[in-house]
């Protein structure tokens, strides 16, 4: 039964994966979209029916990318009209938010752009927040959007920290210095962690320096300064931390390894990355890697059986007298069971 | 394609009990297992499907018996809170919550509990730690927080088709940073896939995998489908050695190194009681502090070094180890000389036969950490005479 079920899942998913989206709009697609949007229009007086109609539009957009720009513009204009006709009762609030989400996701057309500028300027708090969220995800990029968000901050309508994600979505390159500046100066641990996440977007380990530079400040804060569920290691993802470790040497590596140790995700499978560091020509790098590995062995994060040959090789290769001694004593401590004695 | 879809829908029409996975483990679990319960009833009568969360572990080790689920936590995409919907199935304001922790006891008793499930590969402690780390990472994004897949004002029935959204239009690479909304099973799936052990046949961390899973969800894939791809959790207790030697071979010394090994959940607690049952030593590895999973403390091995200052004076002792999930080791009784040469035995029948003057407790009670009672052999024989 399980095999049959999985086969159906696999085939069904594969069949989907093989479906190449049509490049041009077909009459059928246009007709289907017309049915969906018309249904939303006639359901304006019934919030629940409208809710259902908008959901169908959202779902349709999810799997069909073949609508032309003209059709998308038409859909956007008609949805904006619906949005403007709705009150703020519970279901219509959800309907309005879903329209914002839809226009901020799949309809990069001028009508959607204008609509967003208007919601940012005139929308109530929750709709503005929904618009900022859509911009965060990159659905409505543009310098005018960027400037509008900045002006909201300048006028005290939203806080700087609340704006940075949307600025990144509106124009990632323009936002980068602002994000870096915030991370370099903020004293708020929760937002340091929260905004640190934004740097993942750029996928560039060299941009992470600011997080390591501020790490000691935040690590030094008393526990009472931290909101529940937060600590400084959470500002950097394991993946980006690994990339940073791979490309850095010396002092930077040492600091990254400290964060790595605090974040507690080192284990046998990540050993090869550190093994390479033990082969570095840079003595500070080798020292940092050695101390890190010795400590990871002591706390049981890597098994003695796995670490012993790595340290043995490093000891045999090591030219620095002090480091060689350190490696030797570490191997001795590992005990004869894992080859510590020669 | 049409035929495949029809076949797929046919399977969905089957009574859920017919093809649901076997019930999970209701009594024990390993860290990062997935626990399932019924989803809250919409309209008070219909439970649309299941809700799943990632089991964190025995997070309050000083609270009491590690077997009690109220001392354990689960991390979940919380979703709808109690009484979230009105009579029309519409989710009410303030009734939806994002990623957070919940007490396992509360999770078990909220609705019908289906137990703990493990990935078919039964991952090792390193993988399980990575799953928990990812779950924790996803929780802290401040700007553009990850939301539950449905929101107030929407119909709860949308849960049947909506699963995961990301980026500006659900295309392109999936990253931690661009996830928009998740259903509870998508949260679990993403954490597992990030640790290279996806539960479903597609990898949610990839563009193609995400597209396929969203497609399947729109056609009826539910959290129960995830449960179907898992197995009832198989748990094992930690092993305990003293001074690096197998039990029974240790020598007396100034220091006793108790080494706990656990390959699934990691070493958690060491408890030593004296012959009167009083705990002379109890130490634990912290799993959660200030609302944070201490991933650096999840390791397959942990050593507790004890000396006479820790109560290790001549006498009879009872030792037990626990992993981070509250699974206990075999219980050990040992004694420290002067009385006789050092002797450690596991709690098997032979132990009672070989120790003169020892009043045995029934074996099952030993597992519950009942103190072992020793008496003066001469008095014991007088009493029996």
For residue B357, the model assigns a pLDDT of 40
pLDDT tens per residue across span B319-359 = 889 999 999 987 777 877 764 444 444 443 334 434 444 44
Q: Is the dihedral of CA B42, B85, A99, B142 positive or negative?
A: negative
DSSP string, B11-56: HHHS-HHHHSPPP-BSS---TT-EEEEEPPEETTTEE-SEEEEEEE
For residue A113, the model assigns a pLDDT of 93
For residue A109, the model assigns a pLDDT of 87
CB B195 within 8 A of CB B134: yes
Chain B: nearest CA to A163, how far in angstroms? 8
Test A9 with B219 for CB contact under 8 angstroms: no
The two structure tokens encoding residue B25: 């483990």
Higher pLDDT, A303 or A258: A258
pLDDT tens per residue across span B33-90 = 999 998 877 656 667 789 999 999 999 999 988 989 999 999 999 988 888 888 778 8
For residue B246, the model assigns a pLDDT of 60
For residue A23, the model assigns a pLDDT of 55
Check whether the bond before B338 is cis (ω within 30° of 0): yes
The pTM of this model reads 0.86
CA B306 to chain CA mean position, Å:
28
Test A91 with B175 for CB contact under 8 angstroms: no
Chain A: nearest CA to B336, how far in angstroms? 25
The two structure tokens encoding residue B384: 């029996």
Is the pLDDT at A61 greater than 70? The verdict is: no
Domains identified in chain B and CATH numbers: 2-232 (no CATH), 239-384 (2.60.40.1930)
Test B140 with A97 for CB contact under 8 angstroms: no
The two structure tokens encoding residue B81: 């809170």
For residue B364, the model assigns a pLDDT of 44
pLDDT tens per residue across span A102-122 = 999 866 789 999 999 999 999
Q: What does each C-alpha distance from A188 to A129, A184, A217 come to in angstroms?
A: 21, 11, 11
Q: Which of B206, B183, B209 is nearest to B52 (CA)?
A: B183
For residue B7, the model assigns a pLDDT of 46
CB A260 within 8 A of CB A237: no
End-to-end CA distance of chain A: 56
Test A165 with B154 for CB contact under 8 angstroms: no
Q: CA of B290: which chain A residue's CA is closest?
A: A228
Average pLDDT over residues A239-256: 96
Identify the band that residue A341 occupies on the pLDDT scale cut at 50, 70 and 90.
Answer: very low
Is the pLDDT at A72 greater than 80? The verdict is: yes
For residue B158, the model assigns a pLDDT of 86
Identify the band that residue A47 occupies on the pLDDT scale cut at 50, 70 and 90.
Answer: very high
Chain B: nearest CA to A161, how far in angstroms? 8
Q: CA of A49: which chain B residue's CA is closest?
A: B155
Q: Is the dihedral of CA B174, B175, B181, B183 positive or negative?
A: positive
Q: Which residues of chain B have pLDDT under 50?
A: 1-21, 249, 339-385
For residue B115, the model assigns a pLDDT of 96
Is the pLDDT at A25 greater than 50? The verdict is: yes
Test A90 with B294 for CB contact under 8 angstroms: no
Give the nearest partner residue to A264 out of B5, B211, B295, using CB atoms.
B295
Best to test chain B binding among A241, A264, A336 (most B CBs inside 10 Å): A264
Is the pLDDT at A233 greater than 80? The verdict is: yes
CA B71 to chain CA mean position, Å:
11
For residue B180, the model assigns a pLDDT of 94
Please identify among residues 128-187 of chain B the ones whose CB lies closer than 8 Å to any CB of chain A: 129-130, 133-134, 136-137, 139-144, 151-155, 158, 161, 166-171, 175-178, 180
Identify the band that residue A30 occupies on the pLDDT scale cut at 50, 70 and 90.
Answer: confident
């Amino acid at each position: 039964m399980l095999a049959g079920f999985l086969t159906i899942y696999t085939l069904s998913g594969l069949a989907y994966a093989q479906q190449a989206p049509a490049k041009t709009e077909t009459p059928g697609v246009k007709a289907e979209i017309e049915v969906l949007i018309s249904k939303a229009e006639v359901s304006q007086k019934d919030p629940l029916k409208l809710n259902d109609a908008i959901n169908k539009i959202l779902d349709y957009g999810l799997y069909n990318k073949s609508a032309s720009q003209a059709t998308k513009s038409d859909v956007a204009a008609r949805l904006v009209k619906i949005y403007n006709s709705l009150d703020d009762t519970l279901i219509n609030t959800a309907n309005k938010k879903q329209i914002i989400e839809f226009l901020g996701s799949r309809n990069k057309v001028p009508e959607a752009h204008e609509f967003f500028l208007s919601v940012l300027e005139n929308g109530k708090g929750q709709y503005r927040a929904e618009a900022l969220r859509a911009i965060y995800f990159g659905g409505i990029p543009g310098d005018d959007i960027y400037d509008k968000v900045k002006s909201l901050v300048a006028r005290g309508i939203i806080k700087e920290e609340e704006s940075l994600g949307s600025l990144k979505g509106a124009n990632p390159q323009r936002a980068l210095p602002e994000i870096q500046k915030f991370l370099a100066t903020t004293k708020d641990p929760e937002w340091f962690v929260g905004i640190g996440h934004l740097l993942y977007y750029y996928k560039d380990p060299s941009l992470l320096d600011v997080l390591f530079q501020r790490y000691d400040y935040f690590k030094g804060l008393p526990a009472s300064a931290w909101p529940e569920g937060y600590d400084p290691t959470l500002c950097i993802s394991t993946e980006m931390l690994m990339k940073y470790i791979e490309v850095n040497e010396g002092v930077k590596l040492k600091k990254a390894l400290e964060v790595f140790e605090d974040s507690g995700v080192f284990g046998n499978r990540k050993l090869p990355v550190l093994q390479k560091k033990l082969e570095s020509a840079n003595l500070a790098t080798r020292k940092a890697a050695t101390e890190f590995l010795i400590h990871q062995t002591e706390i049981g994060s890597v098994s003695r059986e796995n670490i012993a040959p790595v340290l043995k090789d490093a000891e045999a290769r090591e030219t620095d007298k002090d480091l060689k001694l350190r490696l030797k004593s570490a191997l001795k401590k590992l005990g004869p069971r894992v080859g510590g004695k020669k | 394609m049409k035929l495949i879809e029809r076949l797929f829908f046919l399977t969905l029409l089957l009574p859920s009990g017919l093809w649901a996975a076997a019930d999970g483990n209701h009594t024990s679990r390993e860290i990062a297992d997935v626990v399932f319960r019924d989803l809250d009833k919409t309209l008070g009568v219909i439970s649309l499907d299941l809700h799943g969360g990632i089991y964190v572990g025995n997070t309050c080790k000083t609270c009491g018996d590690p077997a009690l689920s109220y001392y354990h936590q689960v991390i979940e995409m919380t979703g709808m809170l109690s009484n979230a919907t009105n009579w029309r199935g519409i989710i009410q304001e303030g009734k939806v919550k994002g990623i957070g922790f919940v007490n396992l006891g509360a999770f078990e008793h909220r609705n019908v509990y289906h137990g703990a499930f493990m990935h078919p590969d039964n991952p090792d402690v390193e993988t399980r730690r990575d799953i928990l780390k990812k779950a924790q990472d996803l929780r802290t994004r401040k700007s553009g927080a990850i939301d539950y897949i449905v929101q107030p004002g929407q119909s709860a029935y949308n849960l049947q088709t909506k699963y995961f959204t990301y980026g500006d239009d659900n295309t392109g690479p999936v990253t931690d940073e661009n996830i928009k909304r998740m259903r509870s099973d998508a949260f679990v799936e993403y954490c597992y896939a990030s640790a290279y052990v996806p539960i479903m046949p597609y990898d949610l961390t990839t563009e193609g995998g995400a597209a396929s899973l969203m497609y399947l969800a729109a056609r009826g894939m539910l959290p129960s489908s995830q449960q179907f791809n898992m197995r009832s959790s198989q748990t094992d207790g930690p092993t305990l050695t003293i001074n690096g030697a197998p039990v029974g071979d240790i020598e007396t010394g100034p220091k006793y190194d108790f080494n706990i090994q656990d390959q699934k959940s990691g070493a958690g607690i060491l408890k030593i009681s004296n012959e009167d049952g009083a705990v002379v030593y109890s130490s634990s590895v912290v799993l959660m502090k200030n609302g944070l999973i201490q991933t650096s403390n999840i390791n397959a091995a942990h050593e507790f070094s004890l000396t006479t200052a820790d109560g290790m004076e001549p006498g009879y002792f009872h030792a037990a180890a626990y992993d981070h999930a509250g699974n206990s080791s075999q219980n050990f009784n040992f004694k420290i000389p002067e009385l006789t040469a050092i002797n450690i035995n596991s709690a098997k029948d032979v132990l009672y036969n070989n120790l003169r003057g020892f009043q045995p407790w029934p074996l099952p009670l030993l597992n519950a950490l009942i103190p072992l009672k020793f008496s003066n052999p001469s008095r014991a024989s007088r009493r029996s005479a």
